[in-house]
């Protein structure tokens, strides 16, 4: 199974209003193992000015982009790099929307939505009600992102690739998962995304340290006392 973990940086936030892709980074994984092949380009937005809000996120200026290739000049190379692989992104609708607008300018077909995996959707299913930004997921899984002062397409792709493996159960379980997935494909059972709901959960050798402070516990107990005698919380005190 071939997957392309990718990310974009853009001049702004709404391609419908003419905002453009200015950085594109991608990493190739086969059977959940990094191959070492990457794609990375900074892109000239052809006169579109970088929005100040977007600049605060990625730090890429128009002056820096003046001598870079246009999207039309790099599109064929990126499409060839992706090939028949699945596209994996965090909040994929944002990146795919930008790609499709760039493709439309070049009269190229849009990305097939069936070939897209959104790690934000996976994270929300696995960690409901928890913050699931890329930074928060790195923190949750112990992935070092201290060198990430700005967002960058290739750097974020590398971080996302590590997060993606963890979301699927970790590197060891992912190897077993690929084998099971291939067996299912041979027998006609399931589809290419079926492994997300069947990922075995890793077991920790030692329990995580207590995260609640004494004051937080006391505040919770005080709140429970206001819920009435039949409150379900009182059954677990």
DSSP for 103-143, please give it.
HHHTTPPPPPGGGEEEHHHHHHHHSTTS--SHHHHHHHTT-
* 217 is a domain residue: no
State the pTM of this model.
Answer: 0.70
Domain of residue 123: give its range.
2-167
Q: Would you state the pLDDT for residue 171?
A: 60
Does 102 fall in a domain? yes
Percent of the chain with pLDDT over 90: 62
Give the SS3 label for residue 38.
strand
Residues above pLDDT 70, as percent of the chain: 74
H-only helix segments in 67-212: 71-82, 92-105, 119-126, 134-140, 153-167, 171-187
Instruction: Determine, yes or no, domain membership for 107.
Output: yes
Let me know if residue 200 belongs to a domain: no
Cβ-based neighbours of 13, under 8 Å, separated by 6 or more: 19, 51, 53, 54
The reply to whether 83 falls in a domain is: yes
The answer to whether residue 203 sits within a structural domain is: no
- What residues act catalytically? 151
The number of domains in the chain is 1
Q: Is residue 142 one of the residues assigned to a domain?
A: yes
């Amino acid at each position: 199974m071939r997957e392309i973990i990718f990310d974009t940086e853009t001049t702004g936030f709404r391609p419908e209003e003419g905002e453009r892709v200015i950085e594109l980074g991608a990493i190739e994984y086969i059977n959940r193992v990094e191959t070492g092949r990457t794609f990375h380009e900074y892109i000239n937005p052809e006169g579109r000015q970088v929005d100040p809000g977007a600049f605060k996120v990625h730090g890429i200026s128009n002056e820096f982009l003046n001598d870079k290739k246009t999207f039309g000049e790099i599109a064929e190379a990126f499409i060839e790099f992706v090939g028949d692989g699945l596209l994996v992104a965090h909040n994929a609708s944002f990146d795919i929307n930008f790609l499709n607008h760039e493709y439309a300018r070049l009269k190229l077909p849009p990305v097939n939505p069936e070939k897209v995996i959104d790690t934000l959707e996976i994270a929300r299913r696995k960690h409901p009600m928890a913050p699931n930004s890329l930074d928060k997921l790195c923190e949750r899984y112990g992935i070092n992102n201290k060198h990430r002062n700005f967002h960058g397409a290739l750097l974020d792709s590398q971080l996302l690739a590590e997060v993606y493996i963890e979301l699927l159960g970790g590197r060891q379980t992912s190897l077993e998962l690929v084998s099971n997935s291939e067996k299912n494909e041979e027998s006609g059972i399931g589809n290419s995304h079926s492994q997300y709901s069947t990922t075995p959960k890793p077991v920790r050798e030692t329990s995580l340290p207590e995260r609640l402070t004494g004051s937080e516990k006391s505040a919770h107990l005080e709140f429970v006392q206001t819920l009435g005698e039949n409150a379900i919380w009182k059954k677990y005190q």
